[in-house]
Amino acid sequence: MTDYSFDREKDEMKKELYYDGNIITMSGQEKADAVLVENGKILAVGRKDAMNLNGEVQRISLEGHTMLPGFIDSHSHFTGCANSFLQCSVQNAGSVRELQETIQDYIQKRKPAPGEWVMARDFAPEQLKEKQMPDRWMLDQASPNHPLVLQHKSGHVGAFNSLGLKELNINGFTPDPPGGRIEKKDGEATGYLEENAFIHALRRLPMPSVKALVQACGQAQELYASFGITTLQEGMMSKEMLPMYRELLKKRALWLDVTGYADISQADQIYGVLPDCDGTYACRFKLGGYKIFLDGSPQSRTAWVRQPYEGGAETGTSTMTDQQVEEAVSLSFQTGRQLLAHCNGDRAAQQYLEACERATGRGRGLRRPVMIHGQLLGRDQIPRLKPLGMIPSFFAAHVFHWGDVHIQNLGLERAGRISPLKSALEAGLLFTLHQDSPVIPPDMLETVWCASVRKTRGGILLGAEERIPVYEALKAVTCNGAYQYFEENRKGTIAPGKLADFVILDGNPLETEPEALREIQVLETIKEGKSVYRKEV
């Protein structure tokens, strides 16, 4: 693992001048070709020939490339990304048989100890020719001697083999928990679990060793940095993560900024252990508030929707009662801590909006509440967000990755309204964009492309009226992200006094045809004036 850790108090740097390139400041000052940096902060931005270059200055040519503020990840799961380096990916399996062989090959190479769990990830039924979720008996063939879990890419559903069900004491008599489902057939559990049933089961699995996780966190940071990200998120912290975070902070092993949001049901335990620095970072970590989730995912037909899915009567899964949501909003209001709510379906969005409106008298006093995903946020619901100061953080890359599935589940017209970016923009809403990593890689430029082009993997133009200009998409991953984190005075634009967090690209996204946006490459990522990623040539 590359050691990128650094301490500004011990690592003083000379002045640096970045010049001879396109500087997109995202602050309205677009006619700039140079940035002057000292000790990790921006001193000046503008024309190189107008810079006051007193003293020794290290000159760094951008060689005609494009510099932007470092990208800001507005929602992902850092530990999940780290864990993914310790798990078996089945994303390339095209059939049940290939999936079984992939897991078998992984077990043969890794040689897990007897009884050790095997974790498989990156699964989606539509990738298999059988178009189905494997059951326990299929998974038994893949892993007959080790408990196994196969996790859907959404993270909301999955399946266990027979040994896994036995370890968790799940059988045909196990009742469904509130907001979850354990599939049964002829009185037997099939291995398939949804929502709360699956999430609660995952939390009972043994965590990897702290040493392995800390090392994987280094790999995860390298992944984020390779996509130009300098600030990222731990999207739902559980108490099981505490030993890892204690070690990360002790070893000063974070070199990108991480903001964590506590699972609200465990908030007292988390806030009582990790440093609560009133919105500032300690060893590059800070607690940002609370996280709740109100439904599932539209590709799994578990997002809670107002109208049934195509070809059926189901309307998805509600995971919290109205009272529980109102209590969460009230806690956020009382403590002055930000609240993030996972809402994919429009019915879940309605529940969150109503709770915010009721609990605080039309939302006065809430600290920038965030609606995570907002896939099916209704155009009729959008005007209700602004009076609450609510920020929708859209998972716009759904259009490409699952747009074809959404058409099957929702119909073409309804699917075309997912991630209503243009409608939000016209309503005057500030919004952000994210990838929910490890659901998909934290590829910001792909997301900018999705927001501007809106084409599915199958090439269908999905919701052309919801496309937005490239500049607005870039705002959503820079200055708007900084605002979501209450860091608009420190990050998000290239301006004097702000942190020298930059990404350098091989092309100018404002001068590139939208169709070609995702072909632009990240050449370098700079965190507070220090290079933390360079593309190998």
List, for residues 93-121, the tens digit of each pLDDT value: 999 999 999 999 999 998 988 889 999 98
Range from 94-98, 254-258, 332-336 that averages highest in pLDDT: 254-258
Task: State residue 290 phi and psi, 5-degree precision.
Answer: -120, 160
Nearest to 375 by CA among 309, 419, 318: 419
The string of pLDDT tens digits covering residues 368-393 is: 999 999 999 999 999 999 999 999 99
Cβ distance 80 to 438 under 8 Å?
Answer: yes
236 closest CA partner among 269, 205, 267, 257: 267
- Write down the pLDDT at residue 362: 52
Q: Which residue has the higher pLDDT, 401 or 366?
A: 401
Tokens 């006093």 identify what position?
A: 365
| Distance between CA atoms of residues 85 and 220, nearest Å | 8
Residue 171 has pLDDT above 50, yes or no: yes
Percent of the chain residues topping a pLDDT of 70:
95
Q: What token pair was written down for 420?
A: 């209503």
Q: CA 13, CA 526: separation in Å to the nearest integer?
A: 14
pLDDT in tens, 26-43: 997 667 899 999 999 999
Long-range CB contacts for residues 33-36, cutoff 8 Å, separation at least 24: 35/67, 35/494, 35/500, 35/502
In this structure, how many other beta carbons lie within 10 angstroms of the beta carbon of residue 132?
Answer: 11
- How many other C-beta atoms lie within 10 A of the C-beta of residue 277? 12
Of 153 and 301, which is predicted with more confidence?
Answer: 301
Q: Average pLDDT over the chain, rounded to whole?
A: 92
Write down the pLDDT at residue 3. Answer: 41
What pLDDT, on a 0 to 100 scale, did the predictor assign at position 148? 93
Q: Report the pLDDT averaged over residues 291-298.
A: 95
Q: Please report the DSSP string for 225-253 in residue order.
A: HHTTEEEEEEEEE-GGGHHHHHHHHHTT-
Contact 224, 73 (CB under 8 A): yes
Q: For residues 441 and 253, what is the distance between their CA atoms, to the nearest angstrom? A: 22
CA dist list (Å): 401 to 3, 27, 309, 457: 33, 31, 19, 6
Whether the pLDDT of residue 4 is over 80: the answer is no
Rounded to 10°, the helix 346-359/322-335 angle is 50
Q: Which two structure tokens, joined as six digits, stand for 257?
A: 């900024």
- Asked whether the beta carbons of 367 and 326 are under 8 A apart, the reply is no
Residue 68 clears pLDDT 90, i.e. is over it = yes
Residue 295: half-sphere exposure toward Cβ, Cα within 13 Å: 32
Q: What is the 3-state secondary structure (H, E, C) of 81-95?
A: HHHHCCCEECCCCCC
Residue 333 vs residues 133, 163, 268, 286, 368: alpha-carbon distances, Å: 41, 44, 16, 19, 11
Tens digits of residue pLDDT in 207-247: 888 999 999 999 999 999 999 999 999 999 999 999 999 99
Task: Give the C-alpha separation, 49 to 53, whole Å.
Answer: 10
Please report the pLDDT score of residue 8 as a whole number: 40
- The neighbour count for residue 188, using CB atoms within 10 Å, is 16
**20: its two tokens:** 């001879």
Query: What is the C-alpha to C-alpha distance for residues 143 and 164, in angstroms, rounded to an integer?
Result: 10
* Least confidently predicted of 83-87, 150-154, 253-257: 150-154
Picking from 269, 281, 279, 280, the residue whose alpha carbon sits closest to that of residue 243 is: 269
Give 5's pLDDT tier (boundaries 50, 70, 90).
very low
Taking the CA atoms of residue 307, residue 434, residue 266 and residue 305 in that order, the dihedral angle to the nearest 10 degrees is 0
